[in-house]
Each structure stands twice: as C-alpha cells, then as structure tokens.
Amino acid sequence: MSGVPSSGVDVFELGSEHEQVVFCNDRATGLRAIIAIHSTALGPALGGTRFYPYASTDDAIVDVLNLSRGMSYKNALAGLDLGGGKAVIIGDPAELKTEALLRAYGRFVQSLDGRYFTACDVGTFSEDMDHIARECDFVTGRTVAHGGAGDSSVLTAFGTFQGMRAAAEQAWGEPTLAGRTVGVAGVGKVGRHLVRHLIEDGASVVVTDVHAPSVEAIREQFPQVTAVATTEELVASEIDVYAPCAMGGAISDEVLDVLSATIICGAANNQLAHPGVEKTIEERGVLYAPDYCVNSGGVIQVADELEGFSFERAQQRATGIFETTRKVFELAKADGVTTAEAADRLAERRMREVGRLRGIHLG
C-alpha cells in the first residue's frame, strides 16, 4: 500500500507539523480508520473519533490532520496539560458501526500506549466509547453508568455560550444576548443545548439543520424558535449573531457577502473556509470568536474525567472560556491582529513555554 493516495495527497507534506499518523485496517469488521497525533508537547494527545462517510481517503486524511492540529491549539488555550490528536473512521455509522468494529478500533488506540486518548465526536457517542474501552485503557467521554462524563456536548454548548457572552460584551458593552437575534446552523448534539441557553438569556433564535427531525424537536421544546429551510437562508436573514454548529468550513467569502451579523460565534470546528478569510471577517466589521477557543467546553468536560469526573468542577472550568475569549479580543486589539491570529498566539505561547519545561530532566 502506498503512503501517498492516488490523487497525490502526501501525508508527510500535509502533516509536516504532525508527530504521527496511523492507518488502521481490519477487513473482517470493515474498519478503516486514521489516527493523527499533532503534538504531545503539553501531554498525551486528546481528541475525539469522528465516524463519517468521507467521499475519499484523501478527504479523510485532510480532515483528520486539520482536526488534530486544531485540538493541540484548543487544549493549549483551554489550559489543559494535553496535546492534540484526532481520529476518523471512514464510513456511514448507520450502516457500518458495530460492537466488533469499535472494539477492533479500540485495539489500535491501545497499541499507541497512551500517546492518544480518544473521545466522542461527530458520529460517535458515549455508548460507543464504552465498547472501545473494553479493548482500550485510553478512552474518555464514557457513559455515566461507567463512571464517565457522559455527553460532552452539554459543556461544549455551555462554553460556546460563554464565548458568545464575551463577544456580546465586546460588541455591545453588555455580556448578554437578551434582545438579540441569534442564527444557529445545526441543532444536533451541541446546537440544541446552545438554543436553550440563548432562550433562557432572552435571545430570539432562528435555526436550520439538514436533519429535519432535529429542527422539529427544537420547535417542540421551544415553540418561539423560528426555523428556515437552509443555511443559505439563515445567513441571509436579519441576525445579530451567526452560530455555525455543524461541519467545518462554514465561514466563506460567499457567506460574508450576505451576512448581516455583528458576531460570528459557534461550536463547529475549523469554521474558516480558507486562509485569509479571517482578514475579510475583520474588514467587514464582524467580530469573530475563534472556534477552538469557544468550543473547548467539551474537551474540558472529557479531560476532567481523567481525574475522576465532577460535572460541577468541569462546568466551573468551562466558565473560564468567557475570560479566555476576552483575552483573545484584548490581544487582537493590542497587537493589531485578527482574533484568529490572537488565539493562535496565546495557544502557541503556552505550548512553547510549558512544553519547554517538559525538556527539563527531573532525575
């Protein structure tokens, strides 16, 4: 098997910052997975396993490399002593996911001997982590019944809301969304919890999701929520805040051309569609709360499980996302850079300064 897929994606070139990329194959269960470890400078790499029907292996490679790099920055900015990693399982979970496949995957994670800790992501749930944990010691995000943190989307949404409050303070002088209209694209695991926080804070909410039952469930719970058919319709609506909470690449030039929102703050990973779009955001006078800064509540939650889970302690730590987001805005202003670059600088500073300490020999 060649290390370079036929279309020419070179893993060494594309993943030049990464420490390790592992391809996992188990024909009997249909498992095809890729584990990417970006950095262990701050500690073992932690990041979820995404189960998704990628159109090609190339697409899966690009995604896992981007996601694992993002986890290094997310974990660093969240103040965790953890590095960045991520895994993807290629395939439709509705068709391919079985106990045997998950356990086979767990054995591959185990083979890395603690360099990578896995957790939930798109297409995987706490119950899946329980299956993986039957073959693997390096799993978090397990069910409450097994002593775990359960659904990490709870604090992902809570942290995103804290980041949004900090953005509201920066834009309008008060850390509240009361009286504002927030457009939420994606009301699945995270988005539905975010909607609840927004409604409780006094915001008006507009939602969209490709999965119609998710929209129906939100409208049943909160009849005052408005639903629109597409993301295109949502971003063209009169909204004050745009909250992308689905897949990555949500912030493109085309979106910015029609977006009326003052703030972009959502839970999706890798929201910026291409390098340079963060400068366009700033030029348009839009305040961007960097995705990996505000959506780190979930990783804070599952990381807490490694100490013996306390929801109250994890929630208290996730409350700190408000102050971290504030720091990002302050640094952006002080250094004259975009908020995306400011977040990177804060994360890189911690990786550099704390990571350097790991080189001090303790005897």
pLDDT, position 287: 98
pLDDT digits (tens, 9 = 90+) for 113-132: 999 999 998 899 999 999 99
Indicate whether 6 pLDDT > 70. Answer: no
Tell me the DSSP string of 250-272. -B-HHHHHH---SEE--S-SS-B
Residues linked to residue 183 through DSSP beta bridges, in sequence order: 206, 242
pLDDT, position 7: 54
| Residue 37 confidence class, pLDDT cut points 50, 70, 90 | very high
pLDDT, position 8: 67
Indicate whether 13 pLDDT > 80. Answer: yes
Residues linked to residue 7 through DSSP beta bridges, in sequence order: none
- Return the SS3 of 19: coil
pLDDT digits (tens, 9 = 90+) for 146-202: 989 888 889 999 999 999 999 999 999 999 999 999 999 999 989 999 999 999 999
E strand intervals along the chain: 20-26, 31-39, 45-46, 49-52, 83-90, 116-117, 181-185, 204-208, 226-227, 241-244, 263-264, 287-288
Tokens of 281: 């955001």
CA dist 140 and 84 (Å) reads: 14
Which residue type is seen at 338?
Answer: T
| Residue 1 confidence class, pLDDT cut points 50, 70, 90 | very low
User: Could you tell me which residues come within 8 angstroms of residue 35 by beta carbon, excluding any fewer than 6 positions away?
Assistant: 20, 21, 22, 24, 64, 85, 86, 87, 108, 109, 112, 116
Report CA 337 to chain centroid distance, whole Å: 23
pLDDT, position 216: 96
E strand intervals along 245-340: 263-264, 287-288
| Residue 359 confidence class, pLDDT cut points 50, 70, 90 | confident
Tell me the DSSP string of 218-241. HHHH-TT-EE-S-HHHHHTS--SE
pLDDT, position 5: 45
The residue with greater pLDDT, 226 or 9, is 226
- The average confidence (pLDDT) of the chain is 94
pLDDT digits (tens, 9 = 90+) for 261-293: 999 999 998 899 999 999 999 999 999 999 999
Residues linked to residue 264 through DSSP beta bridges, in sequence order: 242, 288
pLDDT digits (tens, 9 = 90+) for 16-31: 999 999 999 999 999 9
Phi, then psi, of 79 in degrees rounded to 5: 80, 20
pLDDT digits (tens, 9 = 90+) for 49-58: 999 999 999 9
Report CA 223 to chain centroid distance, whole Å: 28
| Residue 356 confidence class, pLDDT cut points 50, 70, 90 | confident
Rounded to a whole number of angstroms, the CA Rg of the chain reads 20
CA dist 107 and 101 (Å) reads: 10
Other C-beta atoms closer than 10 Å to the C-beta of 225 total 19
| Residue 248 confidence class, pLDDT cut points 50, 70, 90 | confident
Indicate whether 101 pLDDT > 50. Answer: yes
| Residues labelled catalytic | 86
Average pLDDT, integer, range 59-78 = 95
Q: What is the pTM of this model?
A: 0.90
| Residue 247 confidence class, pLDDT cut points 50, 70, 90 | confident
CB–CB of 109/136 below 8 Å? yes
